[in-house]
Structure 1
Amino acid sequence: MGAWTLEEAKQHLKAWMDAELAVSTGQRYRIGSRELTRADLSEIAKRIQFWSNEVARLEKGRGSGARVLRVVPRDL
């Protein structure tokens, strides 16, 4: 298991998806002498893929219960 919970992974995924929307409206803009440059869209896409995979992995593991094994002792 990773160092995060399912809820944390979902929060990260949402944050990166929000970042993608922000970048899609403008990569760079200037107001007076100030300039803002947002993150690279390809890097954001990589992070979205990573967090999507983590959410899927954690959701998959959520339904599986404890693993039960049967052991038969034998005296040889």
Structure 2
Amino acid sequence: MATAQEMVQFYTDAEIAVLKGQRVRFGDRDLTRADLEQIRAGRREWQGLLDRQLRAGSARFATADFGGTT
């Protein structure tokens, strides 16, 4: 299974591909090969998961002060 970081990159790459022109106009008809809004929603979902994982990872450690100020 792909990691959250890999999925964020996958969705980012897909978004870039769509923005670069996976859309064609034939007269008054518009053909879109991918739905940009669905791609963006997927990227936001995976980015949220990745952010939560990163926050949880950094929360594993605490800073202790053993300076002995009494």
| TM score, norm. by length of structure 2 | 0.65
Alignment partner of 1:23 is 2:29: no
* Partner of residue 13 from structure 1, selected from 8, 11, 22: 8
* Partner of residue 48 from structure 1, selected from 32, 43, 52: 43
> CA RMSD of the aligned region, Å?
2.3
| CA displacement at 1:23 relative to structure 2 | 0.6
List structure 1 segments (4+ residues) > 3 angstroms apart after TM superposition.
Answer: none
1:26 is paired with a residue whose SS is: coil
| CA displacement at 1:63 relative to structure 2 | 1.9
Alignment length, in residue pairs?
Answer: 54
**Identical aligned pairs, as a percentage?**
31
Task: List gaps (5 residues or longer) in structure 2.
Answer: 25-31, 62-70
Residue 66 of structure 2 is matched in structure 1 by none
Give the distance between the partners of 1:65 and 1:26, measured in 2 at CA: 43
| TM score, norm. by length of structure 1 | 0.60
Task: List gaps (5 residues or longer) in structure 1.
Answer: 30-36, 67-76
